[in-house]
Structures are given as C-alpha cells and as structure tokens.
A and B are shown apart, each in its own frame.
Chain A
Amino acid sequence: MSDDAGRTRVSEVATEVALTAEEGRPAVEERRPEQEACAGRRVVLSTHQLTKDFKGLRAVDHLDLSVCEGDVFGFLGPNGAGKTTTIRMILGLIYPTQGHVQILNHRVPDQRLDALRHVGGFVDVPAFYNSMSARRNLRILGRMSGDVTEARIDEVLEMVGLSERGDSRVGGYSHGMRQRLGIAQALIHRPALIILDEPTSGLDPQGMKDVRELVRELGRQGTTVFLSSHLLHEVEQVCNRAVIMDKGRIVVEGPVSELRPARMSVKFLTSDQPRAAEVLGRLLGVGSIAESGAESLRVTAGDGLVPEMVRHLVAEGIDVRAVVPAVEQGLEDFFLQLTGASSEGNDQ
C-alpha cells in the first residue's frame, strides 16, 4: 500500500514490484495510517503534513512520518531530497509553511522550548565555539538544556572517544573530531530523541565504524535515534526502520529488514541471448532483462519464477548452461529505483 502522496510501504513493495515489472520500479498506492507505525509503542517524533516552501520551491511536501520509542530510524534520501530542511523544522530552526512537528506531547514550532528539552542533535556540520575547549563547549551547551555535571561531560567525551582531547581548543579539531563532538553535545543532557544529520560525513573508515557502532549502542540502550543519511548501507547497518525521501516526499517507509524488493536477479548462461530474452519477455512476472556479458542474461523476477523460466527456455530448445544468482540487488539499486520512479512521476 502507499499513500495518495506517493508514499510506498516497504512491506508492500515486493508485491508492487512484481506487478509493475515492466518499469522495474515500485508502484504507488494508498497511505498507511500514521498511528499504525508504532504498534503500541510511544510515538516520540511525528510530522503532520509538514511542508516548507522556499521562494516558490517546495522543499518538503506534506510530510507525515512517525518515529517510535526505541527506533533507530533512518531518514534516507539523495542530496536535495529535503532531509536537512525537515530536520531544521523538527529542531525549530525554520518555520513550516504548513503542518507541524510533534515531539512527545509538544508541538513544534508552537511549543519549541518544551519539545527541545527532549531532543539532542545537530544539523549539517556541527559547529562549536572554536576558542573554547570541547569540555567548555559541552558545559555551555549542555547547561542550556538542564543540569549537566562534569561527570556526565567526562562520560560523553569517553563515549565519543574524545577523552584525551577534551581540554583542547575545538579550533584545532579535525572534521571527524567535530562530528564526534557533535554527537557528544547531542547526548549530553540524556534526551529522549537524538537527531543526527549525516553523522559519518567526512569521517575516515574507522571513524565511520565507530560512529555507527555508537549509534547501534544507543539503539540497544533504548534511545530513540533519528539518523539522516544518504548512505543506504549505513542505514541498513544501524537502523531498524527507515523512510526514503525524494523531492520533499516520502517514497517508501517501513522496517529496514524489508527495505529491499523481494524480487531477485538471476543470470542465465546461454549462447542464444536474443531468443532467450524473447522467450523470457513473454512470461508474466518477469522484470527487467538485460545482456550481462557475452553469454549471459540478467533477469529480474520473483524467486518462484526461476524454474518456470528454465522450463520455458528448454521447451523452446534454448540451451541453458547454468542459472546463477546475480549479485544481490541491494538497497542502493532499490533506492535508485525508487527515487528514479519519483523523478519520473514528478516529470509527468
């Protein structure tokens, strides 16, 4: 199912995909009621018809999403999808043109101050007072959200691996250290919701790994995390639920475990590619067919179709030397399919 605004629920994507095999892209149907998303868990963050226009350009378009308590929620989308604008609205930095955000029982922007007491995070590149130490930055920023002890400052510095540099001026910090400090300042007042905007951006591989492990650990501890990223595998690694956004709208949402189509790609090794393609193309449920190497066809279709495809090829007298799984279609392909579909939809 998908909503009238073009959103697709992940769990339904597989079915949709099989039915729209010619395009190889998920279909768009009706909306899932927002309340269903948390299934009994408390909704920590939700947006309601959230919309933002900038000088005639719609950056976020009637966005409805909900993040449940304990979720590590992936907020995916390509550059310009409206992720950062959405986060800015959640954090009360910019005013929605329409709609509102709800953080626990507080509406943003109307009850921004009450809402922000429960939120920690950063948007874009975390920025600090360069002439001060990390410790002093944390002290200043943390105390804006409540009482913060020196022990807590030590604790978050330890968590992000900055203990040894906590007393150094932030002006001398590398990009990666600033990202870590950004996470530390998000955590300092033990908020119910942590919002991280591309936290691994600019980090080296080890830094990325550390940050992802930290986010996973936060999730294990029951902290609700809203993680914006354009790195699909990152979301796959650390999140339990996700939405994919494009051009200001959600194009798919649901559990990350389902965030891939049920179709699979297989390679048929055959010497008669044109005829094999013709035969397979006549079968209902077969998706894309493409030549893949000299004697191989890459075919996308549901799992159950493979035996039938083989039978048809053999019946037509076409040699099938082997059928092998193609490299598994990952989130990257899926993401491109979805955002590609969205682009086409908008172009029309």
Chain B
Amino acid sequence: MSHLRREIVKVLFQRRTYVGWAGLLAIPFIMTIALRLSTEQPSEGHGPPFFSSIASNGLFVPLAALAFLSFFLLPLVSAMTGSFVIAGEAETGTLKTLLTRPVSRSGVLLAKWFVAVLYVGVGLVLVGVGGALAGWLLFGVQPLTTFSGGQLGIAEALRLTALAYAISLVGMACIVSLAVALSTVTDSSLTAAVGTLVIVLILQALGQFSYFDFLKPYLFTARFEDWFNLLRQPIPWRPIWEALLVYSGYIVVLVGVAVAVFRRKDILS
C-alpha cells in the first residue's frame, strides 16, 4: 500500500496530471456544444458511432465520446501515461533516487502500472460524467433506444454506460501495459510512447484487412468496439467476455515482461 500511496501522491503533485484530465473532461463538452450549435446534424450511419443519435437523446453523448476517443486519443493518453512509468522517472533521474531505497523493484513497477491505469480510469470517469452532464444540459435525457429497437430506462442506460467505460478501461490497460513494458527497455519516455502508438496503429491496421482475419480475435485493438454489444437486447455477453479475456492475456504477458526486464535492469540514468 505504501508504494501505491507514494505513486498516487506523486501523480497528484504533477501539473500535467490535471492538464490531461482537464483536456479529457473538456472533450465531451466541446463535442456536445459543437453538435448543439451545428445547423446540420450527422445523419444515421454517418460520422462517428452514436453521433447521429445525440440530438435526440443526451444519454448518447458519453457513449459517442467513448467511441470517438477510443480510436486515438485514449490510446494516446494511455501510451503517454504508461511510458512515463519507468522511462520518465529515468529521464528525470528520480528512478535511481527511488531504487536506492529498500524497495522491491517488482512492487515499484506494479504500483506504478496500477496508478497509470488509475489515471486513465479517472480520465474515463471525467469523460463519462462530463458527457452525461453535457448531454443532459444541452439535449436532455430520455430512455435510450438500443440497436435492437428496445428501450432502456435512464438508470439502466447509465449503468450500461458505466459498464462500457469499465470494459474500455481494461482495453486501455493493455496499452498502458505495452507502454510500461517498453518504458523498461528505454530511458526515453518519448521513445516508449511513440513505440507504443506505432504498435497500436499497426495492430489497428492489421484488423482492417480481411487477409489478417485469422489474427483478429487475438488483437486487443480489434476489441475496442465490443462494448457496443451492451446496447443490444438481450446482451450478447460472449464477445464481451472474450474481449476481457484477450485484454487480460495481453496485460498479464506485458506486465510480466515489464517486471522481468525491470528486475534485472541496470539503472544507469
């Protein structure tokens, strides 16, 4: 617990923490205001997922924001957060300060990984709450029409929205884990972040070609939209559980690699 408390305090004392969260909070507001002021609303099947439904129901704002951000901005935030975990501290020299204390390297890394995921989680909460608030203020809220044509009460819709965010957080934890693993092999957080984004983009690209369909079930990036299934009735849980399984597999392997590398790493910075 002491590792966690220390890492949380460190994150809370960094200005960029609040800049990142403020940016994430602003996005659903900007998106909603832009749609409210726009004279042309996106038509069905055009624009990012759920955008065309926002005008009829503000409850779609957090869902639209999640779908929109999951493509690039959330992976970017996750990559940057994860990459700073080890490489960032190596750059500033505080890694050696930390490790000259009697602390377990595995414990330090796991605490840092957890806090990085927590940071992204708080960011997602801000997006979700901000989206719901913006949608309610500018478009009002009412029972939500699902893909299957049925309707969900406001409370149920909000519960499923929260679940969608939680599933996405696990997906983003894969990216954080990848960035953490890369940050243990380089002393440059920028290199780790760029490396992570390149890998994520490559995986996303692989998912776009039918030739690589055999890989698709195993690509975590191909699972970023599986939470859409929550808006079907009845909910097909199988793809959601599969997505969580794939995410978990990546997280375990990547964090395992990170721990293994970090335990034997020579701290030279």
Q: Which residues of A come within 8 Å of B, CB atoms?
A: 88, 91-95, 112-117, 119, 121-132, 136, 140-141, 143-145, 185
Contact = CB atoms under 8 A, between A and B. Distances in A.
B34 interface: no
Contacts, number: 76
Nearest to A130: B92
Contact of A93 (B13, B92, B100, B104): B100
B205 interface: no
Interface in B1-38: 2, 6, 9-10, 13-15
Given A94-B267, A113-B104, A127 B92 contact: yes
Given A113-B104, A144-B103, A95 B266 contact: yes
A88 to B, nearest CB: 7
The 3 closest A-B pairs by CB, nearest first: A127-B93, A144-B101, A94-B266
Query: Chain B interface: which size bin?
Result: 20 to 34
Given A93-B100, A119-B100, A121-B100, A129 B94 contact: yes
Interface of B: 2, 6, 9-10, 13-15, 92-94, 96-104, 264, 266-268
Contact of B100 (A95, A116, A131, A136): A116
Contact of B102 (A117, A122, A130): A117
Contacts of B6: 140, 143-144
A144 B99 CA distance: 10
Most buried by A among B2, B93, B96, B100: B100
Contacts of A92: 99-100
B244 to A, nearest CB: 35
A17 B13 CA distance: 59
Nearest to B91: A127
B214 to A, nearest CB: 40
A141 B6 CA distance: 9
Nearest to B101: A144
Given A93-B266, A94-B268, A140-B6, A129 B100 contact: no
Contacts of A123: 96, 100
A113 B264 CA distance: 15
Contacts of B94: 127-129
Contacts of B97: 122, 126-128, 141, 185
B103 A88 contact: no
Nearest to B102: A116
A129 to B, nearest CB: 6
A88 B268 contact: yes
A225 to B, nearest CB: 16
